[in-house]
Amino acid sequence: MTVSYEAADGVAVLTLDRPGKLNAVTTAMSERLFGLIDQIGTNDEVRAVVLTGAGPRSFCVGSDVGEVDAYPDPWQFRNRRDYCDALRALRKPVIAAVNGYAYGGGLELALSCDIRLASTTASFAAAEIKLGWIGGGGISALLAASVPASDAALLLLTGDPVDAAEALRIGLVSRLYAPDSLVAAARSLALTIASRPPVAAQAAKANLLAARSMGLEQAIQYEREMQAICMGTRDAAEGRSAFAEKRPPKFTGH
């Protein structure tokens, strides 16, 4: 199986499972990701997602370069279904647990997640320029939204990797963990997010995406509308009741 899936306690874990090829993504893996993400999106039991790679060496090194020549021309390559698009289409919060190389499309996958955690042995590179092209899964826009402009340019124009400590310094990742505790830490964080009211969590994610693409006043107005939607849910009423009664809330997603 090229992408494994498990779910428990409101958390789904997606694992790119091709460690012998550093979890390079094939067309079949991409299609499976689309299917799994569609499944997660319609499963109300899943409230948060962790994405990681199998094995200790690599999170993902992007598309399997050996498959690129299978496209008859660049236009067909341009029109393929991109696995990063699948991940960004998910309304639910996603945490990347980057356990090794995040190169090329692997870096784009990590950037397509809402939160990025990494092992101390992780490294990151926009490596496509070394092969004669640039990334097409959102790398420029996502880097520009995540790290300072000079660091984004450094990554894109050299293709050289940065280590985990440097990724933390520039804000590419939020936390570093020992390799053997990374996935557990990511799952623990996902459990915390899964315990929050799902509508509010998805609204918060939507607001962050809006803040990237809208002007300030439009983004604030969008946030206000999303707040009104959240305030009308039974979970919001439950939150107020639990606060008044000094007890833990029980959120149902309604």
Partners of residue 123 on adjacent β-strands:
101, 163
C-alpha distances (whole Å) from 182 to each of 9, 67, 97, 204, 245 are 19, 31, 7, 25, 37
Which one, of 68, 67, 52, lies nearest residue 12 by Cα?
Answer: 52
| Residue 251, burial from CB neighbour count under 10 angstroms (0-12, 13-18, 19+) | buried
How many residues can be counted in the chain?
Answer: 254
Known active-site residue 108: yes
SS3 14: strand
Known active-site residue 67: no
Q: Which is catalytic among the residues 31, 128, 223, 238?
A: 128
Q: Which is catalytic among the residues 6, 108, 217, 225?
A: 108
Task: Supply the residues annotated as catalytic.
Answer: 108, 128
